[in-house]
Amino acid sequence: MSSKYRPIAFVLNAKRTSVRVHPMKRLLDVLREDCGLTGTKEGCGEGECGACTVIVNGQAVNSCLVPVAQVAGAKVMTIEGLKGRHRLQRAFAEFGGAQCGICTPGMILAAVALGPHPTLEQVRTGLAGNICRCTGYEGIYRAIRKSEDRSKKK
Amino acid sequence: MRTAISPLALRQPRSLRDALRILRDEGPLTPLAGCTDVYVGLNFGTLRDQRFLNIWGLDDLRGIVVRGDVIRIGALTTFAGIIRSPLVRRRLPMLAAASCEIGAVQIQNRGTLGGNIANGSPAGDTLPVLAVAEALVELRSIDWTRKVPFVDFYTGYRASVRRPDEIITAVEFPRVEGVQWFRKVGTRAAQSISKVVMAGVRSERPRIAFGSVAPTVVRVRRTEAALASGATLAEAQGILQEEISPIDDIRSSAFYRRHVAARLLAQFWAEG
């Protein structure tokens, strides 16, 4: 059934991967269905909510808007790529950055993509594409700041 | 996913020449760059195209270079690339300003200047900037290259002079003399299609363009001429109302858009 499609090869969470799916299948669906990585969520399907955020070649993108053919040869990182050990993940859990958790994978990856030592203004701008219905965002900014404080202490 | 993807076809060109040949021989095909509006349109039912050409990998179409007075931006340059460019920040700050207000980071990392033009939304945020910068749009087919003044590019709502066998390859900007100005009015500071968007260049030859107030981006030339010849602001605002034709839609009302456009004109003319 899917063997009629050409393989699309990319690096997923630092591992070489190849999928034989329709080239226009959304990267979001490929990650969740073909790669079994359900940490990336669909919130809107139109690039407005950021729940589907992944990092492609170092840049945060909405995976609901990317045809999988366009990540051929690229490096893709999902929330699973942080292995549960990233300081941001610990900080979100410890400092109330997550309530229901549906926005959390996207929020964390958007924060990762910000780069080191962002100001609060840069955090607000960098996360403006990620919507949360639960926290009112203060817990998210607090978790990011606390995570930063910890990284500076090292 | 609300749209079935199985009826869709995606051609993968090996190079720009290959892409142009495929467009000529296997068209009609819709070129796909950053795709930030494609699945939105497919799901909503407004994009009926089913045959696509993947041009995302054509690195020849990326890059920002300066040749004398002219800045040439490759059509596949993303908004993030535009924002990061020291050259653009210095010489085309209104283009960087517009790019910063498109969507959010995730959209800016994928959306392209060529895509903003080709998509041809009346609300496209870079379009008023291109209009007042008097940019040139470079179009290529397998047989020729041509440059069209941006102000002549659109022929109607989401319609342009781009032939089906052409790809937008670059946008060229002459030196902008005067102070550059850009404002976008929307529901929040990110992720908003504008209610009104305006770009302007303040000089002895003022240039002013609006988006979201007509079927296409609009250079308000009579308003410009009035200001240049010393008309009062009130007179210019009156002429402005004759040059725009906003509608009521899901985002705003014609009444509000007219009101805001007049106020933006006042702010633009007063700042300096």
Place of tokens 């329709």: A22
| CATH 1.10.150.120 for domain A82-153 | yes
Name every chain A residue with its beta carbon within 8 A of the beta carbon of B39.
Answer: 26, 45-47, 64-65
Residue A48: which of B223, B104, B44 has the closest Cα?
A: B104
B70 with B30, same domain?
A: no
CB proximity B36 to A under 8 Å:
yes
Name the DSSP letter for residue B110.
T
Question: Is B242 found in the same domain as B190?
Answer: yes
At residue B272, does pLDDT exceed 80?
no
pLDDT of residue A154: 55
Helices (H), strands (E): how many in chain B? 11, 14
Q: Percent of chain A having pLDDT more than 70?
A: 97
> Same structural domain for residues B189 and B259?
yes
Centroid of chain to Cα B31? 16
Q: Both tokens of residue B243?
A: 């040059």
What are the residue boundaries of the structural domains of chain A, listed by start? 2-81, 82-153
B231 and B207 fall within a common domain: yes
Query: How far is B45 from B41, CA to CA, in rounded Å?
Result: 6
Half-sphere exposure of B123 (CA within 13 A, CB side): 20
Which residue's structure tokens are 């495929």? Answer: B22
If you write DSSP's letter for every residue of B178-197 in order, what string do you get?
SEEEEEEE-SSSSS---SEE
Q: Are residues B206 and B145 in the same domain?
A: no
Is B111 in the same domain as B135?
A: yes
Residues 3-32 of A with CB under 8 A from B: 22-26, 29
Q: What is the ipTM of this complex?
A: 0.97
Q: What's the DSSP call for residue B165?
A: T
State whether B164 and B183 are in the same domain.
Answer: no
CATH number at residue B212: 3.30.390.50
The answer to whether residue B1 is domain-embedded is no
What is the rounded CA–CA span in Å between residue B86 and residue B237? Answer: 35
To the nearest whole Å, the CA of A95 is away from the closest chain B CA by 25
Q: What is the pLDDT of residues A59-84, one digit of tens each?
A: 999 999 999 999 999 999 999 999 99
Edge-first strand order for the sheet with A8-12 is A15-19, A8-12, A75-77, A53-56, A59-62
pLDDT of residue B2: 67
Cβ distance of B54 and A67 shorter than 8 Å: yes
pLDDT by residue (tens digit) across B132-143?
Answer: 999 999 999 999
Identify whether B54 is part of a domain.
no
Amino acid, single-letter form, for residue A122: Q
Fold match between domain A2-81 and domain A82-153: no
Each residue of A87-143: pLDDT tens digit? 999 999 999 999 999 999 999 999 999 988 999 999 999 999 999 999 999 999 999
- Of 3.10.20.30, 3.40.50.720, 3.40.50.620, 3.60.10.10, which CATH number belongs to A2-81? 3.10.20.30
B56 lies in a domain?
no
Find which of A24, A31, A112 to mutate to test the B interface (most B CBs within 10 Å of its CB).
A24
Indicate if B79 and B14 belong to the same structural domain: no
Please name every residue paired with B74 in a beta bridge, in sequence order, or none if there are none.
B170
User: Whole-angstrom distance between the N-terminal and C-terminal Cα of chain A?
Assistant: 52
Host domain of residue B247: 179-270
Do B29 and B103 have their domain in common? no
